[in-house]
Structure 1
Amino acid sequence: MKKEFKSFEEKEYFVQGVFSNIAKHYDVMNTVLSFGQDYFWRKFAVQRMNLKASDRVLDLACGTCVFTKEALRQVPSLKVEALDFNAEMLAQGEIRLEQAGLLERVNLVQGDAMSLPYADNTFDAAMSGFAMRNVPDIKQVMKEMQRVVKPGGKVVVLELAKPTMFGFKQLYYFYFTYILPIIGKMSKDNSSYAWLPESLRRYPHQTEILKIWQDIGFEQAVYTELTGGIVAVHEGVVPETKK
């Protein structure tokens, strides 16, 4: 699948459709496609935030709220604002939180990651998982995350990455290009799952993403590769003086 977008709005409309189609089986397929590693990736990412009991946290592009649930598992007294632009994904997130008895601890919001509906310095920390490949403009979204987090607060982003180890890299891309679409057919929505390898192809290498963080002005900006570089966890501290 090689799709070209003429505008940010066109990509946003397309991605809306993708996630509306896969919302009900998104979590099961994620576990299958990651060989069950997605839980450990999220656990590590939340640990990197160094959250405190009284913190107010933004889960940007929260999807089905798996990341939110993990944050509350680690720090049950958190106040979490879970925002996503897709109503179907939020509906699945609401079901997940209600079943876990966590719904009263989370405020679910349908909103735009490119223009967050919050005042400056609203949150103590912010996180996002597997969303940056799908946003219209990575730099704009990261600026918004920085804007709404207080100076000194942590921002952590978990996303698919591009392995560099010879042999493993070739195997990984073979899986994404040929095996993943077959698995996608099991969900009866091959076209939506075809977007996954395409979105990874378009997404910058983790070193390029780090450069974006540094250019925006995040302090102590670093990334950690997990599972041979299949994913990367980027993190940074919001500076006292924001750009």
Structure 2
Amino acid sequence: MKVERELSARKFTSYSDKEAFVQGVFSNVAKHYDIMNTILSFHQDAYWRRFAVKQLGLQPGNRLLDVACGTGMLTKEALRQEPTLSVEALDFSPEMLQHGEQRLAKAGLLDRVNLVEGDAMSLPYHKDSFDCAMSAFALRNVPDVMQALKEMKRVVKPGGRVVTLELAKPTAFGFKQLYYLYFEHILPVLGKLSKDNSSYAWLPESLRRYPHQSQVLTMFEEAGYKEATYYELTGGIVAVHVGVVPEEV
């Protein structure tokens, strides 16, 4: 439990400090990221992605941004639902992008996707560049959630949707206790089995530091989104937040 205690006590002194730490985590887990996600989510992750993508309201020919695209699983689901999309898939981890490129190439989708190494805190795109934007399991890991939300809002056209999928904090009695038992005691064992205890110890620690889904909704509203709402899935294990970019006044 030494690693867990060290992470719990760790304070990030700057944007770059947390960014460097998290980048190291994802570089370490890139090779087995997808299979571990499926195991840790009890095979619910595919359903979560399907639900999240549906909230985008995709239309033929839309230009879509996938922020912190990881290994391309969410991008792949978006193209399954709307094959005519053009997707910019951005991540700050070269290792994750490499695995994403392999996945998308195997699926014959690379002609629809441009993979970009970049920072969610400062997206390398002009204002109103996309019809919509999405992100999965990124907000817990960015240095500043509000900045990430504002950046996605900046690059999406008025009327477009921004959808995020993220771990959440269940509140139902009994389920809540089982959830945290799993995260705090069983997950570290799985991390040890994967021989990457420190990276998987970050998962429960990042959730502990992350706001409740109702607070994230408030952040969507404060960032300037209209019609902001969220959906809890699988007993509140994850939450999908949706916001619409308002028309300029």
TM-score, scaled relative to structure 2: 0.96
1:45 and 2:52 are equivalent in the alignment: yes
1:234 and 2:241 are equivalent in the alignment: yes
Amino acid corresponding to residue 173 of structure 2 in structure 1:
F
Partner of 1:199: 206
Amino acid corresponding to residue 12 of structure 1 in structure 2:
E
Measure the CA separation in 2 of the matches of 1:97 and 1:10: 31
Alpha-carbon distance, 1:5 to partner: 0.9
Alpha-carbon distance, 1:186 to partner: 1.9
Partner of 2:168: 161
Alpha-carbon distance, 1:91 to partner: 0.3
Alpha-carbon distance, 1:87 to partner: 0.3
Q: Secondary structure, in 3 states, of the residue corresponding to 1:151?
A: coil
Measure the CA separation in 1 of the matches of 2:12 and 2:111: 39
1:15 and 2:22 are equivalent in the alignment: yes
Partner of 1:67: 74
Alpha-carbon distance, 1:137 to partner: 0.2
RMSD: 0.7
Measure the CA separation in 1 of the matches of 2:212 and 2:93: 26
Of 84, 87, 101, the residue aligned with 1:94 is: 101
Partner of 1:190: 197
Alpha-carbon distance, 1:241 to partner: 2.2
Measure the CA separation in 2 of the matches of 1:216 and 1:77: 30
Measure the CA separation in 2 of the matches of 1:140 and 1:241: 19
CA deviation vs aligned residue, 1:77-129 (integer Å, no higher than 9, x gap): 10000000010000000000011111111000000100000000000000000
TM-score, scaled relative to structure 1: 0.99
Q: Which blocks of at least 5 consecutive residues in structure 2 are unaligned?
A: none
How many equivalent pairs are there?
242
Measure the CA separation in 2 of the matches of 1:25 and 1:236: 32
Measure the CA separation in 2 of the matches of 1:39 and 1:13: 29
- Percent identical among aligned pairs is 67
Of 76, 80, 86, the residue aligned with 1:79 is: 86
Measure the CA separation in 2 of the matches of 1:123 and 1:135: 21
Of 54, 58, 61, the residue aligned with 1:54 is: 61
Amino acid corresponding to residue 37 of structure 2 in structure 1:
N
Of 105, 117, 125, the residue aligned with 2:112 is: 105
Measure the CA separation in 2 of the matches of 1:80 and 1:185: 36
Alpha-carbon distance, 1:185 to partner: 1.5
Measure the CA separation in 2 of the matches of 1:151 and 1:197: 36
Alpha-carbon distance, 1:6 to partner: 1.1
Amino acid corresponding to residue 18 of structure 1 in structure 2:
V
Measure the CA separation in 1 of the matches of 2:12 and 2:220: 24
CA deviation vs aligned residue, 1:117-144 (integer Å, no higher than 9, x gap): 0000000000000010000000001000
Measure the CA separation in 2 of the matches of 1:218 and 1:167: 34
Q: Which blocks of at least 5 consecutive residues in structure 1 are unaligned?
A: none
Measure the CA separation in 1 of the matches of 2:141 and 2:95: 16
